[in-house]
Amino acid sequence: MIRKVKTLLLHFPNYKQASFYGFILALLLIVLRQLELHFLLINHLFELYTAGIAVIFTGLGIWLAVKLTKPAKEIVTIEKERFVDPDPFEIDQNELARLGISKREIEVLQLIAQGLSNEEIADKLFISVSTVKTHSVKLFDKMDVRRRTQAIEKAKRLKIIA
């Protein structure tokens, strides 16, 4: 009998408390048995009946509690950062085509924007300073500017360099 209750109780998370409950149940049964002596009319079946009632209604109580207890709601708020348009820079090819700027001229323009002097650009591109100057002149003419600093500003504004 007690074992049966115990096995039933094994399904509960806290095993120790469950067995404690079983112990109480056992005690109760013993007390009932003592009482039985005073009530001779009650036979052995009565014990079983009582135990049965106890088990059934314990089960009912548990079922009730589990069924009717509302699950505690835990609200977790997750803040998600979403970067809107992380500036996907793209060179405006249309603008380049419109101005008729050649590849070499763009190269020179980019190096100018990086702060290099004509001589440094010449060294980097393995050409003479004269050629760099020629490219510059044509570039400035196409971009309608007269200084490299203006070219830098306008080029960035028109998105023809990074």
Partner DNA sequence: TTTTCCATCATACTTTAGTTTGATTTTTTA
Partner DNA sequence: TAAAAAATCAAACTAAAGTATGATGGAAAA
| Alpha-carbon gap, residue 12 to 18, rounded angstroms | 7
Helices 103-113 and 118-125 meet at what angle, rounded to 10? 130
Provide the token pair at 131. 């050629």
Three-class secondary structure of residue 56 per DSSP: helix
Interaction pattern, residues 32-61, with a copy of itself; x per rule: CB under 8 A: ------------------x--xxxxxxxxx
Residue closer to DNA by CB (options 25, 118) is 118
Residue closer to DNA by CB (options 25, 136) is 136
CA quadruple 152, 111, 135, 129: dihedral sign? positive
Interaction pattern, residues 86-105, with a copy of itself; x per rule: CB under 8 A: xx------------------
Under rule CB under 7 A, residue 130 binds DNA? yes
Under rule CB under 8 A, residue 128 binds a copy of itself? no
Q: Are 132 and 81 in contact (CB under 8 A)?
A: no
Interaction pattern, residues 142-161, with DNA; x per rule: CB under 7 A: ----xxxx------------
State how far Cα 38 lies from the chain centre: 69
Under rule CB under 8 A, residue 106 binds a copy of itself? no
